Structure 1
Amino acid sequence: MSTEDEIIRIAKKMDKMVQKKNAAGALDLLKELKNIPMTLELLQSTRIGMSVNAIRKQSTDEEVTSLAKSLIKSWKKLLDGPSTDKDSEDKKKEPASSSQNSPEAREESSSSSNSSIRKDEANASSDSFIPSFPRAPSTSDSVRVKCREMLAAALKTGDDYIAIGADEEELGSQIEEAIYQELKNTDMKYKNRVRSRIANLKDTKNPNLRKNVLCGNIPPDRFAKMTAEEMASDELKEMRKNLTKEAIREHQMAKTGGTQTDLFTCGKCKKKNCTYTQVQTRSADEPMTTFVVCNECGNRWKVKLLFSSVY
C-alpha cells in the first residue's frame, strides 16, 4: 500500500468516527499519522488535515486533541513554506536539522530547493485545508450577540462544519460584523438581513451555499451583501430563468394582440370565443407554438400545430 493510500485509509476511518460521534481509536490513528513523512502534495491530495481537525474539535480526550494540534501545526509549516529571506541560513542549518531525524524537519529541508513553487501551491490550497478568517471584534450589544449565535447555529446545519473543520462561531461573528459595518445600526433592516442569511444557510435544498461559506469560497463580507437571487439554489435559479422567459413570451403575445377565432375550445369553460398568437420558440424547421387565450374566462394554454397558420 502506498503512502497516499495509507493516509486516505486513516482519513476515512476518522470521518466515520466524526459521523458516528465516537472517537474511540482516534489516538492510534493519529500516532500512525505522526510516523508517516508528510508532504504538501499528500496534504492536498488526501485532505487529511480536515479529518484531523474534525477529530480535534469533537474529541474530549486531551491526549487526542493535543496530538491533533501538534500534527496540524507541523503540517501548517509545509503550507506556509520556508522563508525566502532565510534560505542561506536554512542551508547552513541543514546538517543540524537533519540530525533531529523528525519527519517535519526532513520535509522542510527537502522542499527548500523549490520554495517559491511550494508557496504558490500553499496559498491556493490553504483555504480548503482549514478555513481561517480575521477575528471579528467582540461586542457587548445583546442584539448583535444574539444574531452572531443564530448565524453560528445556522452554519452548523447538516454537520458540514465538522467535516470541513471550520470555526462556525467565529465565521458567524464575521458575517454579523460585515452586516453591521455596512448598515451601522441594529434596526429592522439589519435584522431582516440577518434573518435572510440564516434562512438560506438552513435551506436543506441549497446545501452548496452553506458549504461554500464554510470552506471560504464565499467570504463573510461577500455573503453579508449577497442578494436573494445570488444565494438561491441552482434549481431555483433555473426555475426563475424559465419563468422570466415565459413572461417575456406572454408579453410579446399581449403586445401583438392576437387573432380572434372559434377553432379552439376552452378546456375550462368549454366555449370557443378565443384569441390566438403564434410564436416561433425553437428552430425554424419546427412547428410554431400557438398561444391561446379564452376571451370568456381568461384561461390560457398553448398548442403545437403542424401547419404554419390557423385557417
Structure 2
Amino acid sequence: MAAAMDVKQLQETSRQLSKAFDGGDPSTTLLTLLAPLEKWKASEDLLRQSKIGIAVSKLRSSKDSKVALLASQLINKWKADVKTKKPGVTGTPGKNGLNGDLRSQTNSPAPKKEVLAPPPPAPKKFSVAPEKRNAKEDGVDTALTGNPTRDGSITLIYNGLAFMSEEAPADILAVSKSVEAAAFELYQPETSTTYKQKMRSLHLNLKMKQNAELRKDVFSRAIEPKRFVSMSSEELKSEEMRKKEKEIAKENMNKSMTPSQDKSISTTLQCGKCKQSKVAYSLAQTRSADEPMTAFCECTVCGHFWKFS
C-alpha cells in the first residue's frame, strides 16, 4: 500500500538526505531515510514542491552500490508514477504500454509534459595536475566549523587526500570533514598538543608519494575515519616503507657486527711503486687459524695497494 507523505514530510526527508550524504554519514543512515520513499506514490506537484527528486538523484553517485541502486530505482518508479494515466482518460494501450494518441481519443487537453527534478550538477572539476592539487588550487572552502584551528585541520587532510587524486573536490571535502570530526572527538580540545600533532602526522602520511594505498583506503572509507585517526605511526606506513626500513636495519646490524681492522704505519716496508717507506698495513686471518696471517698494505704517499702472507 502506498504511503501518504505531504510536502513538509518530503522536504524534511530531502533535507536529511542531503545533509547525511554531504556529511559522509554511513550508508545505513541513507538507506533508512530512503526506505519510506519506496512506498510513496509520486505526483508531479509534490515532486516539484518538495524537490525530493534532487536529493535522491544526487545519491545515484554514491560509492555504496546499495544506496546508488535504490536511488535509481526510486527515480524510475517516480517517473512511472507521473506517467500514470489521469482519471477520465480512456483509450487502448499503445506503444511503451501508454495510451495511444490521447488528443485524438478525448477532448481533454493534452497531458502536461513530465516534469521531474533536474539531475544534480556535475561535480566540480579541478584544473591543475593531480600532484599539485590542494584546497587552494581546487577552490575549496574548508571553513566548515567556525573554528580556525579545526578548519585548518580540514585543509590539511584535504591536501593529503587530494594529492595525486582524480576524485571530485566535493567528495574529498566530505571525507576530510569526517576525518577531522573523528579526530576532534578523540583528541579535543583542538588547542591540545595531541590534536595538533595528530593532524600534522595524518597529513604528512597522506602526502607521502609511496602511500597511495592509504589515500585510497581513507577516501573510499575502507579505513573508517575513527579508525584512521587512531592508527599508530607504524600502521600509517606503507608496505614499501616498512620493507625499506627492515632492509636498512638489517644492513646496519651487519655493519655493526663486522670487526674493524686497525692500521699501523711501517717505516721498514717499502712501496714497490714509488719506493717510499711510509706504508700503512693491517693483518687479517683469511681462511683458518692454521694458515699464516695476511698483511694488507697501502702506501701513504702514492696510494699503491698490495698484500702478502
Question: TM-score surpassing 0.5?
Answer: no
Q: Relative contact order (C-alpha < 8 Å, sep 6+): which is higher?
A: 1
Bigger proportion of residues as helix: 1
When the two structures are superposed, what TM-score results if normalisation uses the length of structure 1? 0.38
